[in-house]
Amino acid sequence: MDRLCFEPKINTVVQCYQRTVSLKALNCGSALMMSKNSDLVQHEVQKLPDYELRAWLRKAPDHSTNEAPVRGMRIVISYRASDASIQPNDPGAETLSHLPFSRETFLEIMDHFHLSHSFVRTVLRGGLHFSSNILNAPPYPHPFRCFNMRMDNSWSRDLAMAASANIGTGMTYALFHGCDEQDVKVLMDWLKITICSAGHPLLLPAFFAELQLRRQYRNHSPGAQPASLQKDAFDYDNTTREVLGMYQDTGFLETGLTKLRRGLKQMEGQLAAIRITVPETQADFIAKESVRIGDRLEEMMDDYEGLIAECRLITDGASLLNNAVSPSSYLPILYPKPVSD
């Protein structure tokens, strides 16, 4: 952790549960209330300074002995550290290595949430990342399934997430790091409409992938036609430079999109592993939610396939255009090495 910088600030915490409550029959004069089941939803959002965040972590209820799944989430959303001397559009200017906690608070988050400590490497590596592992944490009868995810730091609004889910208790814990106010609003809105799916280990990783796809559409669109070609008379040298730049940018974008699609395939592979290890009390719920999450992962992979195809059309067109303008330049030698699925 030597490369991490700790600067305590105010962060947002979220706690939401969905419990099935049995109401017993009550004799109320001439009326009789029959017993029935009802879903009780609790949703709490707070902004806490560093020392209160540690107190919030320590007063968490113990779910290790739950007889029935609670299906809830406890999430810490940390804001991105900012530096006034940095230009707002500089890629990678505001790095995720600046954590808005004290060192003690960060370690308590990792321990109380049963997160994988490899999250530190995920934050520092800087590139696209998805990984998962199993963590045994007695006295919990079932192990935690841990996930680490990170967006690429080629632009300044990258995010990272560490999550853990206990399929026996139905509890999910997560740290979303590097958020701004818009990210927090999106996350809050999304949690309100997906509380019924809380308890599935891939719920939060699927949301992170959804957020990543939205940002891909918003921030990384393939290049347009070179400006010099839109004039009646254009400069061959300038056009060649523009085409080469567009060719390289789009080629690297295609490589990044392929990596993102590969991460979704890895996530999809986790669905089968989860079904094998699910306890009987959760079997029906996990099966239903796995179908829903699996369908959305397939849709996102199709979206990435369309973006990749668009990149290939642009690189092919740029190659033809450059050969027409400057036959002595050979674009294929600049083409990035493809990433296999």
3-state secondary structure the chain: CCCCEECCCCEEEEEEEEEEEEECCEEECCEEECCEEEEEEEEEEEEECHHHHHHHHHCCCCCCCCCCCCCEEEEEEEECCCCCCCCCCCCCCCCCCEECCCHHHHHHHHHHCCCCCCHHHHHHHCCCEEEEEEECCCCCCCCEEEEEEECCCCCCCCCEEEEEEECCCCEEEEEEEEECHHHHHHHHHHHHHHHHHCCCCCHHHHHHHHHHHHHHHHHCCCCCCCHHHHCCCCCHHHHHHHHHHHHHHHHHHHHHHHHHHHHHHHHHHHHHHHHHHCCHHHHHHHHHHHHHHHHHHHHHHHHHHHHHHHHHHHHHHHHHHHHHHCCCCCHHHHCCCCCCC
- The structural domain count of the chain equals 2
Same domain? 57 vs 194: yes
d(CA 223, CA 106): 40
Same domain? 70 vs 194: yes
Q: Do 308 and 216 touch, CB atoms closer than 8 A?
A: no
* Residue 305: pLDDT over 60: yes
Same domain? 165 vs 279: no
pLDDT of residue 295: 92
Same domain? 271 vs 158: no
Same domain? 230 vs 158: no
Quickly state the pLDDT bin for 116 (edges 50, 70, 90): very high
* Residue 112: pLDDT over 70: yes
Structural domain including 187 reads 5-23+35-199
**Considering the domain boundaries, does residue 292 fall inside one?**
yes
* Residue 220: pLDDT over 60: no
Q: Which of the listed residues 199, 230, 247 is the one where a domain comes to its end?
A: 199
Same domain? 142 vs 228: no
Same domain? 87 vs 148: yes
Same domain? 305 vs 157: no
**Considering the domain boundaries, does residue 58 fall inside one?**
yes
Q: Which of the listed residues 139, 169, 199 is the one where a domain comes to its end?
A: 199
CATH assignment of the domain containing 125: 3.30.460
More confidently predicted of 321 and 8: 8
pLDDT of residue 242: 59
Same domain? 17 vs 156: yes
Same domain? 269 vs 188: no
**Considering the domain boundaries, does residue 209 fall inside one?**
no
| Residue pLDDT, tens place only, 228-269 | 444 444 444 555 555 555 555 566 666 777 788 888 888 888
Same domain? 158 vs 274: no
Quickly state the pLDDT bin for 176 (edges 50, 70, 90): very high
pLDDT of residue 196: 82
Q: Which of the listed residues 147, 170, 199 is the one where a domain comes to its end?
A: 199
* Residue 225: pLDDT over 50: no
pLDDT of residue 239: 52
Same domain? 153 vs 64: yes
pLDDT of residue 156: 67
| Residue pLDDT, tens place only, 78-93 | 987 654 334 444 444 4
